Structure 1
Amino acid sequence: MKNLSIVSLILLLAVNVCAQPSLGLKLWYDRPADLWVEALPLGNGRLGAMVYGNPAHEEFQLNEETIWGGSPYNNTNPLAKDALPEIRQLIFEGQNLKAQEMCGPAICSQGANGMPYQTVGSLHFDFEGMDSYHDYYRELDIEKAIAKTTFSANGVKYTREAFTSFTDQLLMIRFTASEKGKITFTTRYTSPYKDARKSVNEKMLQMDGKASDHEGIEGKVRFTSLVKVDNDGGRLEVLSDSTIKVIDANSVILYVSIGTNFKNYQDVTGDSEKTAIEYLKRVGTKTFEKYLADHSAYYTKFFDRVSLDLGSNEQATKTTDVRVKEFATTFDPQMSALYFQFGRYLLICSSQPGGQPANLQGIWNYQLRAPWDGKYTTDINVEMNYWPAEVTNLAEMHQPFLQLIEDVALTGKESAAMYGARGWTLHHNTDIWRSTGAVDGPKYGVWPTCNAWFSQHLWDRYLFSGDDRYLSRAYPIMKEACKFYLDFLVKEPENGWLVVAPSYSPENAPNVKGKREWVVTAGCTMDNQMVFDLFSNTIQAATVLSEDKLFIDSLQSVVNQLPPMQIGKWGQLQEWMQDWDNPRDRHRHISHLWGLYPGYQINKFESPALFEAAKTSLIHRGDPSTGWSMGWKVCLWARLLDGNHAYKLIQDQLKPTVDEKGQNGGTYPNLFDAHPPFQIDGNFGCTAGIAEMLVQSHTGSIHLLPAIPEVWAKGTVKGLRCRGGFDLQELTWENGKVKKVKIKSNVGGTLRIRCADKLQMKGQPLNIANAELANRLLETQKIKEPLITANAPVVTPSLSDTFLYDIDTKKGEVYELEYYQ
């Protein structure tokens, strides 16, 4: 590892970068939340709470990450193996609709389509004397992970604070007043579960419930939620078996604990009440201030690693909902930084080591059936949740998703076996039970290539970590995914290419002869890109670990037979093996651009024709879309090195809405991303996209300010991570040009920097990059030349707009560079 370089993509050991947090990182409002999409999210990975901030009728909507419907199961279809040859034959004969009809009973699940993520319910507080109030203010401080509400009523100032403790695993709420004896309220639970049991035990509220049966699978997750009331002054009364009243208190602290019987995806034999009581044993061991200090210290060690300063103006003095409304028309640089950091906040709060991955809504959901069941939708959404993890210095938050990959590599053996293949795979959805079958019918479910995308996360983590021990654990999972394709790929008759069949291009349909009748086909561009990526990365992993020479040879033989990418008749990157693309297609998925982002195969410098073809496809697909799709497009335009267009998509994404139905995108008042309804992947996608605008490291170099928009003419970012073993400790720019950069080398080797500006180090010009070295190191990522339709308008971009520099580095050293004319 000592002499590995950025270009060979061996990456950094995880580090803590102590960057100063930006100022003013708060969401704040001058009125309470009326809607769930106006409430403020708190979370510690396991517990989630939405805070409404209503003076008279406060509500905390509650979640716990393991409360899902159903129980351990899998949903594979044993008929697939025998039906596969006929399905493939129909596809190759052009009878795709008949093939699709066969896929329904033969491949898709005939039972459960996936279990829903569910809510706990809500904790309510009804206060006396609060119907008339003034000087109202509520905030979510994402630098400390605490929500606060203040207001005045009847001459008294009231303050309410709440946080979901990372260190003590409790939701803690404190009510205080400027005068003694002024806090009186009743508190109670509500729940959408008909059989939820509410009680008062030793002056402590308790609610017990059971998650729902769903699609024939018995609900076996049981939960217990407890509220311990600690009042200073006044008295406490039990009004009923479900309501407690606090009368004339000076201050009150409430400790909310939630436990379930979930142990792991195979085991629900725990004791929910015992677990909840165990958490409450921590109550009283510290002061509220100490609980908060410990909580914030844990949180800030992650959050403070990265800071982004793009400047500020008078917009930062306005409420967050007003800033969202005005973002498209009034320049608000601090809002871009706030939105970027809010994505990091959400990832820390919804994905903690040892827990479950962030689902389609992170951990925040108020319904018995979250939209799309809140499942892990694997044809982009759950992957997008983790796009910011490595680059924005939250590698620990990646761990729950990586664990899910390890789990489905086990349960997914059943999905591979149903096709008669070795290894493992899964389709376009999974859930807490790690189901891997094809669900939602043949128009959505016949997509057996998710294992390749999951494996990219394994490899990319290695590229950022450079940890051979981690790679030794990840490599067998990647190898088994390759074995699936060694058995599953089939030779198509026209060109003799090895292709995935049946499959489809999520979640789009080709326009063939003016009709969109079917989706199931063979050799979709996205599948080809992902299988190429999986095999190439596995070859590199085996090479690093000095393993499996014969296996490497077998993989390379398959790579040589995969279809090349193709440029179609109107200059587009083809989405399908045939030239079926419709230039008027505005579908939210842009699956065939996977090789541009999050993949590495298409870039301006090594594949210029494909780079322009991808741009043509993206232009025709259009900007308006669902919220998560606009987040993806920010990433894509950043990879296309067009910062102004990427910024335009950020403006589109920050379009205000309160709708919970539709596909028109936008952002809710609490900054949640709207499909609509709420999908958290849009938040994470845009955070990753902003990082890509500032630095890129996927092409064998650290590209500084690759897609900086004109409006961000000046700024500083600290703490981002780059592939190759490097920390971008600081990058400062003025007038759109790099002013200063500090980069730490964590594994040593050659640091390659790409920049539009001339740089020097300690007053000396840098060495221009070694072209021979670059060519040799890029051979392992080399893709096939594209096939180009006759007379297609092919454009190649100019490559003369950047400088390349090579710096020999030593492990642990920091290298400072600056602009010079």
Structure 2
Amino acid sequence: MNRATKVGFKMTRRSATLFGILLLFATTAVADERYMLQYDAPAKDNLLMKRKGKANGLGYIQTALPMGNGRLGAMFSGGIDTEHLLINDITMWMNAKRGMDEVSQSGTRKVDPDDFSTVRKAYRDGKYGTKPGSMESLSTKYLSSTEPLGNYAPFSDLLISTGHDPAAVRDYRRSLDSRTGLGTVTYSIGDGGFKREFFCSYPHDVVVARYTAANAALNLTIQTTTKHKGSHVAAADNRIVLNGKAMMVQDDIEFMQIVQVDAGDADVATQEDGAIKISNASDVTIYLAGYCDYLPVYPSFKGRDYKADCEKTVSAAAKIGFDSLKEYHVVDVSTAMNRCQLELDFQPSGLTTDKLVSSDGSLELENLYFNYSRYLQLSCSRGAPVPSNLQGLWNADLKPAWNCDYHTDINVQMNYWMVDPANLSESFYPFAQWTKKLAKSGTHTARETFGVKKGWSVGLNGNVFGFTAQNVHGRRNQQGGHWLCQNLFDHYAFTQDRTYLEEIYPTLKGAAEFFVEYLAPWKDGSLVVYPTWSPENTYLSKQHSKLNKQTYGASWDQQLVLNLFTDCIEASTVLGRDEAFRKSLQDMIPKLCPQKIGQHGQLQEWPEDWDNPKDKHRHISHLIALHPGRDISPLTTKELYEAALVTMKHRGDESTGWSTGWKTCFWARLHNGDRAHKIYQFLTSKRAYPNLFDFHPPFQIDGNFGGAAGVCEMLLQSHLRSTDRHAETVSEAAYVAYQRDPQTPKNFVPLVPPEKLADAPYILHLLPALPSAWPDGKIKGLKARGGFEVDLRWAGGRLSQATVRTTTGGVFRLLADNELSPNITLAKGQSYQWSH
């Protein structure tokens, strides 16, 4: 028997703050294995070993522990004789250009309309392969930019030497509490005990380290270095000041770092090489502030008074002091982390995290991985003007893999899939701000390269300087705006923030305007996107080589264009504007190329039936309508669901880290919890480094975020909407975006969304893909579209209790135990309780 009640609840801001502080003390008094990364040895510091020519195997990035406040990042090694903190600033790039005129800053290549017509003709004529005159070669010849993209760059390294002999150390422990963002190192030498504490403060924008000793003295040497040439380091008055430049092709990035040392009454001496030497101390606190001159102002991307900010920030931190800074930091991080907590039922093993990873998987590791991924998200995306990149925030190399840039064919989007479901909506801000800059820059690329007069366009690779041009290779992704906008609108779906919708509407509209003009009729008369590709896959490779990737009307593009047009129609309806533009989108939707089921029963990746059942490619972009989209579902589109199943079986389970994360999401959306769990287990145990960073290889952070998104999808789904309040089943109630073409039964044509979709309540599906390996557990604070928060508890593999809350007020339908509820209306502050 199911019981449901509606409960009112009111809490003032003051009582909420006091409650949060009490909760903090209650939940952090004892270390919780669900949040703790812990080790019995320091990280492998190959960055220091390189200087001795001894670096090999796993190294610093894979074993050191990360901290961050969204803009400023750090990792600590826990080295006994030398502690190494890697410092990063998310806006620090090099090898690119800035400060050009508005058109040039976009990186776009001005293309003669006749040359663009030549490119398109090659597509219509089926000029496959890579030979002269092919789609690939002509796209490279006429469309690709020759402007430098540049790469994300490291900031500095802080080295703290102790003089301790590693062979003399006992009881070593290195840990990171992802619930509080506190890093700790402890060990003993003889009768002396030594402790280090680290954190990266969001409220005060500093990295802080504290060294203490009991029954012993601290003798430390502190120095800072940077990989950037032409830097200058000087020490005076308990400070180390680093001034440097990151080399650009045009207009070098200038930066400063100040390290302030408080050693109490100990002896402090400065050295000519810029180091500080501390003798006979018992307590040493180090405050680090660092900024570069970057500002998100197009096209200059310059202007921050970084020196004044550095001075002001480090002085304020030193005045506040370690204890208060730590208190502010712990409340800040734990408040966000406590909003959503996964608790699977397991007995703690007592294993260190590296041994947990190497033990072939466990519920303990799966629980830790999810909570840690939330910590990583909070640490690398908050408050900054640019989003997390391929490595989140943490990079030690002047030439990082794939530029450590922004790939718009899945990676930057995947970085933000788990933000709202895992209740970290504040982390979305950098993505939205960056995309607005791309939209401004992309108007030039749309016009100059593609001859499109309205709207904006963006290619495969992005940077922090507004680069929206085409990749240097023709086979790369031409368009990414529709996928970026999917993230933008989905954030509104979760938050129901009308002010935010007003802010992003011009970006959504601009992306749609581009495709309205860019879409072109194909041989059958349907409208398709071309030039394009299906990331990053090839077709007819035996006939035309593995680089035969350029195509037309790829399924992923067509699905995303429908998604974009539908979102624009809803946004314009909600905001009450652009009725004529809304009508133009409604008129175009039925003309879009349909989705097709191919000869193997698969969902076709291309408009032609080219799919190879033996293809194990890591990208499965033609299932975007399944996830992160909302238009394929086992509950609403049976034929497309079955075709997606065939595709997933063809592609297999094992892949790179980010692809494994995506497959976890796919199988969850297919309501196969055991298959989703199998892949998530593989991700956590076989695609994780000792510090739980995602193993691509090398490190890419999107796998962490994709895996966490998959956990959310296993436990709660809210992408379907009810347009018929009287229907008693989801298949009857839910809005469907595709229907079978009666003339061609294996084709599914896109449908124009009804006007009532803008007011249609979301269907909150509880435990849609609960794995049998998780028979008992609970999670609190998942977010659902429509502006709701959900707590769940299950036992024996069945839902036992659920609570739905709202801070905005709204209407939803609940799908629990295979029963669809009527519409449920909650006022602001009310909650709804369901029990079995």
Asked if Structure 1 and Structure 2 have the same fold, meaning a TM-score greater than 0.5 normalized by the shorter chain, the answer is yes
Q: 1:746 offset after TM fit, Å?
A: 4.3
Between the aligned partners of 1:245 and 1:725, the Cα distance in structure 2 is: 54
DSSP-derived class of the 1:53 partner: coil
- TM-score normalised according to structure 1 size: 0.87
Q: 1:517 offset after TM fit, Å?
A: 4.4
Between the aligned partners of 2:401 and 2:592, the Cα distance in structure 1 is: 37
Kept in 2, the 8 Å contact 1:260–1:275? The answer is no
- Name the amino acid aligned to 2:398: L
The equivalent residue for 2:39 is 29
Distance 1:397 1:310, change over 3 A: same
The equivalent residue for 2:232 is 197
Between the aligned partners of 1:811 and 1:474, the Cα distance in structure 2 is: 26
The equivalent residue for 1:740 is 801
The equivalent residue for 1:40 is 65
Q: How does 1:39-118 map to 2 (within 5 A)?
A: 39-69=64-94, 70-72=96-98, 73-79=105-111, 81-97=113-129, 98-112=134-148, 114-118=149-153
Between the aligned partners of 2:97 and 2:246, the Cα distance in structure 1 is: 9
Distance 1:738 1:655, change over 3 A: closer
The equivalent residue for 1:287 is 321
Q: How does 1:309-348 map to 2 (within 5 A)?
A: 309-315=343-349, 317-328=350-361, 332-348=362-378
Between the aligned partners of 1:106 and 1:231, the Cα distance in structure 2 is: 62
- Name the amino acid aligned to 2:768: P
Q: How does 1:297-376 map to 2 (within 5 A)?
A: 297-315=331-349, 317-328=350-361, 332-376=362-406
DSSP-derived class of the 1:806 partner: coil
Range 510-519 or range 301-310, more displaced: 510-519
Kept in 2, the 8 Å contact 1:237–1:246? The answer is yes
Give yes or no for the alignment of 1:554 onto 2:554. Answer: no
Between the aligned partners of 2:538 and 2:359, the Cα distance in structure 1 is: 36
Q: Deviations over 1:341-369 (max 9, x none)?
A: 11110111111124321111111000112
- Name the amino acid aligned to 2:81: A
Q: How does 1:367-766 map to 2 (within 5 A)?
A: 367-417=397-447, 418-421=449-452, 422-444=454-476, 446-448=477-479, 450-493=480-523, 495-511=524-540, 514-515=543-544, 516-656=546-686, 666-700=687-721, 701-728=763-790, 730-755=791-816, 757=817
Kept in 1, the 8 Å contact 2:140–2:472? The answer is no
Q: 1:264 offset after TM fit, Å?
A: 2.1
DSSP-derived class of the 1:742 partner: strand
Between the aligned partners of 1:71 and 1:86, the Cα distance in structure 2 is: 30
Percent identity of the aligned residues? 34
Range 709-718 or range 807-816, more displaced: 807-816
Q: 1:208 offset after TM fit, Å?
A: 1.7
Kept in 1, the 8 Å contact 2:693–2:699? The answer is yes
What stretches of structure 1 move > 4 A for 4+ residues in a row?
A: 15-22, 512-515, 746-749
Q: Deviations over 1:143-162 (max 9, x none)?
A: 11010000001220100001
Between the aligned partners of 2:295 and 2:547, the Cα distance in structure 1 is: 44
- Name the amino acid aligned to 1:805: S
Name which structure has the greater RCO, CA cutoff 8 Å, separation 6+: 1
DSSP-derived class of the 2:323 partner: helix
Give yes or no for the alignment of 1:251 onto 2:274. Answer: no
Q: 1:597 offset after TM fit, Å?
A: 0.4
Between the aligned partners of 2:140 and 2:515, the Cα distance in structure 1 is: 22
Q: 1:80 offset after TM fit, Å?
A: 5.8
DSSP-derived class of the 1:592 partner: helix
Q: 1:508 offset after TM fit, Å?
A: 0.8
- Name the amino acid aligned to 1:497: S
Between the aligned partners of 2:444 and 2:319, the Cα distance in structure 1 is: 48
The equivalent residue for 1:808 is 824
Q: 1:247 offset after TM fit, Å?
A: 0.7
Structure 2: unaligned runs, 5 residues or longer: 1-15, 45-58, 99-104, 722-762
Kept in 1, the 8 Å contact 2:529–2:557? The answer is yes
Kept in 2, the 8 Å contact 1:498–1:563? The answer is yes
DSSP-derived class of the 1:283 partner: helix
Distance 1:635 1:80, change over 3 A: farther
- Name the amino acid aligned to 1:419: F
Q: 1:67 offset after TM fit, Å?
A: 1.1
DSSP-derived class of the 1:629 partner: helix
Structure 1: unaligned runs, 5 residues or longer: 1-14, 657-665, 758-801
Between the aligned partners of 1:48 and 1:807, the Cα distance in structure 2 is: 45
The equivalent residue for 1:154 is 190
Kept in 1, the 8 Å contact 2:211–2:284? The answer is yes
DSSP-derived class of the 1:647 partner: helix
The equivalent residue for 1:7 is none
Kept in 1, the 8 Å contact 2:97–2:465? The answer is yes
DSSP-derived class of the 1:259 partner: strand
Kept in 1, the 8 Å contact 2:668–2:769? The answer is yes
Q: 1:270 offset after TM fit, Å?
A: 3.3
Q: 1:170 offset after TM fit, Å?
A: 1.1
Between the aligned partners of 1:698 and 1:397, the Cα distance in structure 2 is: 21
Kept in 1, the 8 Å contact 2:290–2:310? The answer is yes
Between the aligned partners of 1:234 and 1:725, the Cα distance in structure 2 is: 54
Q: 1:338 offset after TM fit, Å?
A: 1.2
Kept in 2, the 8 Å contact 1:710–1:736? The answer is yes
DSSP-derived class of the 1:348 partner: helix
